[in-house]
Amino acid sequence: MNNNQNTFELWPAIDLMNGGPVRLTKGDFEAQSQYALSFNDIVAQFETFASGIHIIDLDGAKSGVLTNTKAVSDIMNLATLPVQLGGGISTFECLNEWMTVGINRAIIGTKALTDPDLLARFITNFGVDKIMISVDVKQGKVMTKGWTESNEIGAFEFIESLIQKGIYKFMVTDIEQDGTLQGASNDLYRALKNKFPNIYLLAAGGVGCIGDLQDLKATGISGAIFGKAFYEGKISIEELNQFNNAG
């Protein structure tokens, strides 16, 4: 991992369903691609270029209960990179368990909107540095429960309310771009960075080629999460290393 704070961070994703890696298209649980790679193969490749590994328990995100516990443990046993984990972290006990196991950062989604008291407890016990809020956006509104439920609150309003609580780490996903390989929502990320210049912001959704990462880097945000483009060979390890070395 490159610890240069000016470096655009690369967080390749492992999305889990039924114990294995998948990628969804536009958040649709019925539109998934499954991959035959072993966790050992995936982690070994990620270790050559990544800033860290992004894991989402999609079953947990939908059900509210962390589901793919064995798969997550297997990945963490293989990885030397930092790991950020989300999906189904809906109780203090669940997050405490994963922090004890050694995840570097927890990604909190639905509960950040629906249970502010629990979010406050997370921050009090684990520190704001260990918490990243997942803001899933569809047509400008925040989505929850594994992208299945819309809320009336706008993404900018939601982020601003969390900043007022001392939170500064966010991942923002444009659901309509996720898994499409058609490019990220650069205008959205640029607008977020302009309005909230001091936040740590990771983009997720839509990366289809190395040029999309270059475009995201140009917005000034902290880094990107991507998956399908790598698994399907549209971005190579060589390209990613050249991207890192470009500074």
156 in Cβ contact with 192 (< 8 Å): yes
Active site residue 15: yes
The one catalytic residue in 57, 59, 136, 215 is: 136
The DSSP code sequence of 58-84 is HHHHHHSS---HHHHHHHHHH--S-EE
Q: Where are the beta strands (DSSP E) in the chain?
A: 9-17, 20-25, 28-34, 53-57, 83-86, 105-108, 131-138, 141-144, 149-154, 169-174, 200-204, 223-226
Active site residue 28: no
Picking from 33, 162, 73, the residue whose alpha carbon sits closest to that of residue 109 is: 162
Which among 15, 174, 178, 212 is annotated as catalytic? 15
In 88-192 the beta strands, taken as DSSP E runs, fall at 105-108, 131-138, 141-144, 149-154, 169-174
Q: Which residues are catalytic?
A: 15, 136
